[in-house]
Structure 1
Amino acid sequence: MISRGYRRTTRATANAKIRDNESPRRRLRSFLLCAPHSKDVSHTRCVQKELTMHRTKNDLPESTRVAMIKLLNDRLADAIDLFNQVKHAHWNVKGPNFIAIHELFDQVAEHVEEASDDLAERAVQLGGVADGLTASIAKRTSIKSIGLDLPDGRSYVDAVSTSLAEYGAKVRQAIDTADKAGDKGTADLFTELSRSADKDLWFVEAHLYSER
């Protein structure tokens, strides 16, 4: 006959094992992240950061994945900010070419939204967390604001084309960064996004030439 004490001990041990097995597959890791302190890339600033990393069988080195997750989240912030700017222009543009520019801005916004989704998913694939929170976007974006209320359609076209060009330049830089880090998959993603941004910029800038 098994004593009650033994049964309680056995049950407690089994419950502990279940809790261990059900624990989240993630861990908080501390990493030293370095970035250029000025335009001279030889001057860098390194800070200690904590980053939530999910376990994955992806064979890229963890240090590479950490660097790529940060890069992807930085460009994600740019993409989400750009999406909001283009939608703002889509809603508020006015002028004789309203319908053409209004619809073009909506198409550009869709492309940028798709880009943000690809960036976020790639960060998660590498074991990271995609940070699309509004407060984070405000801190991380490198895209200048187009302004709240511009006077005419040409002003909106000029402002959106400037933001698209800034975004495209950052994405191109990211291609080289990912390639040098040895992450061909992320470099390929940035190459695809670069082509899309260049095409959208071409379409938007065409409206500037037509009014000269």
Structure 2
Amino acid sequence: MTATVTTAPATTGTVAKALQQALVDLTDLHLQAKQAHWNIKGEGFRSLHLFLDEIVGEAREAADEVAERLAALGGTPDGRAATVAATSSLDAVEGGDLAVADAYAGFAERTARVAAGIKATLDAVDAEDHLTNDLLIGIASELEKQAWMLRASLA
């Protein structure tokens, strides 16, 4: 019995663009969360410090899955610092000390924004690639959960 080698499915511009933007935004989210993790100050420090590490881990893992999906479809993932800085949909996190309450609110907004950006691509992606759509749905769902938990921490 001989093995049949199949070629990778070709990615479309729509799917590649959605995956690339998700990669950039997830990479920026995990970098910004780590920056905040190192610089938050105030009451509730420890809880947020640990929470930000969870966000970092989830965003890194999701970025890796997105990049690998893009590569598997024949695309070229671009997570270089210059690309992330130039194309991220997130506002930059401020340098220096960050108040815990401000960081909670800021990261609730950031995680929700990345989820919303992914969700905005779902219909177009699903029309061309159900598997990529499923991947993106899972990532957006987790981000929405993180945003909710951050908002709930402020109540």
> Do they fold alike, i.e. is TM over 0.5?
yes
1:187 aligns with 2:137: no
1:118 maps to what in 2?
A: 65
Alpha-carbon offset, residue 151 of structure 1: 4.7
Aligned length: 150
AA in 2 matched with 1:102: H
> What 5-or-longer segments of structure 1 have no aligned partner?
1-55
User: Could you say which structure has the higher strand fraction?
Assistant: 1
Higher RCO (C-alpha 8 Å, min separation 6) = 2
Measured against aligned partners, the alpha-carbon deviations of 1:159-187 in whole angstroms (never above 9, x if no partner) come to: 1111111101001112222013x210111
Q: Distance in 1 between matches of 2:153 and 2:94?
A: 19
1:58 aligns with 2:8: yes
CA contact (8 A) 2:125 2:133 kept: yes
Equivalent residue runs for 1:144-155 within 5 Å: 144-149=91-96, 151-155=98-102
Find the partner of 2:27 among 77, 80, 94: 80
TM-score using structure 2 length: 0.90
1:205 maps to what in 2?
A: 151
Alpha-carbon offset, residue 149 of structure 1: 3.1
Alpha-carbon offset, residue 111 of structure 1: 0.5
Alpha-carbon offset, residue 207 of structure 1: 1.6
Q: Distance in 1 between matches of 2:79 and 2:108?
A: 23
AA in 1 matched with 2:68: E
Measured against aligned partners, the alpha-carbon deviations of 1:87-114 in whole angstroms (never above 9, x if no partner) come to: 1111111112111110011111100111
CA contact (8 A) 1:146 1:160 kept: no
Alpha-carbon offset, residue 146 of structure 1: 2.6
- Give the % identical residues: 30
Q: Distance in 2 between matches of 1:189 and 1:201?
A: 19
Alpha-carbon offset, residue 66 of structure 1: 3.4
Q: 1:132 to 1:174 in 2, by over 3 A?
A: same
Q: Distance in 2 between matches of 1:87 and 1:124?
A: 26
1:69 maps to what in 2?
A: 16
> What 5-or-longer segments of structure 2 have no aligned partner?
1-5
Please, what is the CA RMSD of the aligned residues?
Answer: 1.5
1:196 aligns with 2:146: no
CA contact (8 A) 1:74 1:141 kept: yes
Measured against aligned partners, the alpha-carbon deviations of 1:31-50 in whole angstroms (never above 9, x if no partner) come to: xxxxxxxxxxxxxxxxxxxx
Tell me which structure has the larger Cα radius of gyration: 1
